[in-house]
Amino acid sequence: MAFNSSDTAAFKGVWVFCEQREGVIMSTSYQLLSEGRKLANDLGVELCGVVLGKDIKEDYLKALGGYGADKVYYCNHELLDVYTTDAYTKVICDLVEDKKPEIFLIGATNIGRDLGPRCAARLHTGLTADCTHLDVDVAKYKEFLKTTSTIDVDNTVFEENTNLKMTRPAFGGHLMATIICPRFRPQMSTVRPGVMQTQPYDEAGAAKTVIENVDVKLDKSDIHVEVLEVKKAAKKLVDLIGADVVVSVGRGISKDVEGGIKLAEELASVLGGVVGSSRACVDAGWIGADHQVGQTGKTVHPRIYVALGISGAIQHLAGMQDSECIIAVNKNESAPIFDVASYGIVGDLYKVTPMLIEAIRAAKAAK
């Protein structure tokens, strides 16, 4: 019988696309498996990892069980070594059409965001991009809303169903939307790397997991692109947008530009982040334009934003005020940056920053 994405009852199980590059499974896959496990438990179904590649080490496949996969579909083929849209889409769609999972999660990497929409279009189903939260259970969804929304949850009617509720930010986080795909299966979702928590590795799970080798039907003629080269960048430009933590410097470093930037770099490395800057520093030639945060630079919403010696001109605030936690250090107590800061310290950045580095280092070491 032909594949019919609207025959929702025929679909069962939660799948996670476990992306590999150069034979190594990406950590996003573990995060997604951890999340997928919860969904599978709520639904009482199997969690499966899907791996496409060439001669992937069995240990790596088994390890997926350690993060919750009951089963791993392993598609081994020479033409799956390096990602191509055509090959991956074909193999995955063939497998979905055959096995019919109800939920399919993909990491929102540059590759996942290429693959996901193409597969969804071919399978005739919905896809929700860059989800930050997933639920199937309405009660759990309501609990989630209680802490993250302004909705009066107890006095709001929620339709009871086990559709996947895919929550994602819209308009740079000014709004949140929960999306469902009620009429078609699989319910597909991409999830930003780093958003979901990885659960502790479980040896027993790894031992238990079943690896199923998939009979891959793939031919060179299926692929319409030719990958000439895969290259790692020598010097990476700062990835401000993708950064989890941004430590930015402003005009306040004029006293000692090099020293100020060095402090920011050190703090960024302790926090696992990158260095940003206000426009003033870029205009002054103190730092490269790829570091600029603000209206004419990049708009960021990292988990932590540290502003060192930034007064907080509107154009800068526009680029960072949606950061989850903003820590500002500035000499001038009336600096507008303090209006948006979660925590503010009025003081000399050259004195405060080294202490901050020290204290965070100590706190991390204690963990």
Partner 1 sequence: MDLHLSKEQEMLRKMYRDFAENEVKPLAEWVDENEAFPEETVKKMAKLGMMGIYFPKEYGGAGADVLSYVMAVEEMSKVCGTTGVIISAHTSLCCAPIYENGTEEQKMKYLPKLCSGEWIGAFGLTEPGAGTDAQGQQTTAVKDENGNWVLNGSKIFITNAGYANVFVIFAITGITTDKRGRKKKEISAFIVERTDPGFSVGKHEKKMGIKGSSTCELIMEDCTIPADRLLGKQGKGFGIAMKTLDGGRIGIASQALGLAEGAIEETIKYTKERVQFGKRISQFQNTQFQLADMHAKTEAAKWLVYSAAMKKQNHEPYTMDAAMAKLVAAETASDVTRRCVQLFGGYGYTREYPVERMMRDAKITEIYEGTSEVQRMVISANLGVN
Partner 2 sequence: MKAIVCVKQVPDTSGVVAVKEDGTMDRAAMATITNHDDLAAVEAALRIKDATGCKVVVVSMGPPPAEGMLRELLAMGCDEAVLVSAREFGGSDTYATSQILAAAIKKIGVDDDDIVFCGRQAIDGDTAQVGPQIAEKLGMPQVSYVAEINVDGKAVTVKRLLEDGYMTIKVQTPCLLTCVKELNDARYMSVGGIMECYQKPLEVYNYETLKDDPLIDVTTIGLKGSPTNVYKSFSPPVKGAGMMMEGADKATVDKLVSILNDKHII
For the segment 261-290, give every residue that binds partner 1 (CB under 8 A): 283
- Adjacency order of strands within the sheet including 71-76: 127-131, 187-191, 103-107, 14-17, 47-53, 71-76, 210-213
Q: Buried (b) or exposed (e) across 200-219, using 16+ Cβ within 10 A?
A: eeeeebbeebebeebebebe
Residue whose CB is less far from partner 1, 211 or 318: 318
Residue among 210 and 363 whose Cβ is closer to partner 2: 363
Burial of 330 (0-12, 13-18, 19+ CB in 10 A): buried
235 binds, among partner 1, partner 2, none (CB under 5 to 8 A by kind): none
What mask, x for binding partner 2 by CB under 8 A, covers residues 266 to 295?
A: -----x-----------------------x
Tell me, by CB under 8 A, how many residues bind partner 2: 95
346 is a site residue for partner 1 (CB under 8 A) = no
Residues 80-109 vs partner 2: string with x where CB under 8 A? --xx-xx--x-------------------x
Is 20 a binding residue for partner 2 by CB under 8 A? The answer is: no
Closer to partner 1 by Cβ: residue 43 or 249: 249
Element holding 280 (H helix, E strand): helix 279-283
Residue 348 near partner 2 by CB under 8 A: yes
In the complex, what is the shortest distance from the CB of residue 338 to partner 2, in angstroms, rounded to a whole number?
A: 7
Map residues 313-332 to x or -, x wherever contact with partner 1 holds by CB under 8 A.
Answer: xx------------------
Sign of the torsion formed by the C-alpha atoms of 344, 348, 353 and 356: negative
- Our finding on whether 58 is near partner 1 (CB under 8 A) is no
Query: Which string of DSSP letters, residue by residue, matches 113-167?
Result: HHHHHHHHHHHT--EEEEESEEES-HHHHHHHHHHH-SS-GGGS--------EEE
- How many Cα neighbours within 13 Å face the side chain of 69? 31
Instruction: At 199, give phi and psi (nearest 5°).
Output: -80, 160
Q: Which of 177, 181, 86 is nearest to 125 (CA)?
A: 181
Tell me whether residue 204 or residue 225 sits nearer to partner 2 (CB atom).
Answer: 225
Interface residue with partner 1, options 117, 169, 194, 336 (CB under 8 A): 336
Single-letter amino acid code for the residue at 140: K
Question: Which residues share a beta bridge with 327?
Answer: 306, 343
Q: What angle do CA 56, 59, 64 make, to 5 degrees?
A: 90
Residue 334's binding partner out of partner 2, partner 1, none, with CB under 5 to 8 Å set by partner kind: partner 1
**Does residue 311 interact with partner 1 by CB under 8 A?**
yes
Which of partner 2, partner 1, none does residue 311 bind to, with CB < 5 to 8 Å depending on kind? Answer: partner 1
Using CB under 8 A, list all residues that contact partner 1. 283, 296, 311, 313-314, 334, 336
